[in-house]
Amino acid sequence: MGAMAIIFAWIGYGALVRDELLPERYQRWKLSVLLGLIPQHWWTVIVFVAVVATIITIVQRAHTEITKVESDADASIATVQSAAETSIAKVERELDKWKSMKPEIIVTIEKVIPRVPKNSIYDIFLAVTFQLKEPQSVSITGYTLTLETPSGIRQLAITVEGDISEWTWLTETGAQMLQFVLTAPPNELTMRGEAVTGWLHFKLGPTLDNTIWTSAYFLDVISEHGVNRGLIRDVSATRFNKNMGKILRKELFKSQTE
């Protein structure tokens, strides 16, 4: 600071103070006099050096500003990326939590209607009702049906997929015969508390007629969240119930009614 003060004082002394106001012995120290002592060819060098120094100073300052801007931009990008990664991680945690959540589906077997077997192999049709409790939605991926005899012997039925609409349920109500085309339950359960219904088709055998009518039926509904089970233990009471009706192929039913 002191050096700068001296320089400015010197400039002021040389530029502002008139010669007649200064004693003669001080006039030789004026800035204009001292500058006149510098050879003329040196001024080109001095000006060149000054210009170069100015350019260097401007470039350095610009570089510093650009570096700062880039640093701020990198910091902003890093902050955004960090926030995005945090959000993605949160969503993934919620998704994992949702996937790991144990499902709660109330599975009810409303009816069990076996058809007359061929070579001791039975077509078994189940009328079912599903009611979703948790989570908010569930995708059903499959079913398994297991029969268990009173002695504890188990048999696994095979799921028949994609043909349920080819069958008709024929039931008798009083003197009236009613016909219903079978439909499968939806694979997507999207409404909590809403009961959905449908029919499932399985094949079992070779097996005995006694096994069909005395076994307990365990229906497992498989989803991406786990398994829910419904069961019915005694179907023998419905064996001779006319209201249970029978299952016929559409083509066969049409030929009988034409």
Residue tagged 């120094």 (tokens): 53
CB 83 within 8 A of CB 75: no
pLDDT digits (tens, 9 = 90+) for 93-124: 666 665 556 678 999 999 999 998 999 999 99
The more confident residue out of 219 and 17 is 219
CB 143 within 8 A of CB 221: yes
- Alpha-carbon Rg of the chain, whole angstroms? 47
Domain 104-257 falls in which CATH fold?
Immunoglobulin-like (2.60.40)
Local confidence band at 40 (pLDDT 50, 70, 90 cut-offs): low
Domain boundaries along the sequence of the chain: 2-97, 104-257
* Residue (of 106, 107, 117, 108) closest to 213 by Cα position: 117
Find how far residue 125's CA is from the centre of its chain.
36
Local confidence band at 184 (pLDDT 50, 70, 90 cut-offs): very high
pLDDT of residue 58 exceeding 90, the answer is no
pLDDT digits (tens, 9 = 90+) for 127-151: 999 999 877 788 999 999 999 999 9
CB 124 within 8 A of CB 204: yes
Local confidence band at 195 (pLDDT 50, 70, 90 cut-offs): very high
The more confident residue out of 106 and 244 is 106
What is the average pLDDT across 49-58? 81
> Per the structure block, which two tokens stand in for 188?
């997507």
> Three-state DSSP class for 239?
coil
Percent of the chain scoring above 90 in pLDDT: 33
CB 152 within 8 A of CB 171: no
What is the average pLDDT across 154-174? 88
Q: Is 28 exposed, middle or buried (0-12, 13-18, 19+ CB in 10 A)?
A: exposed
Residue tagged 């400039």 (tokens): 11
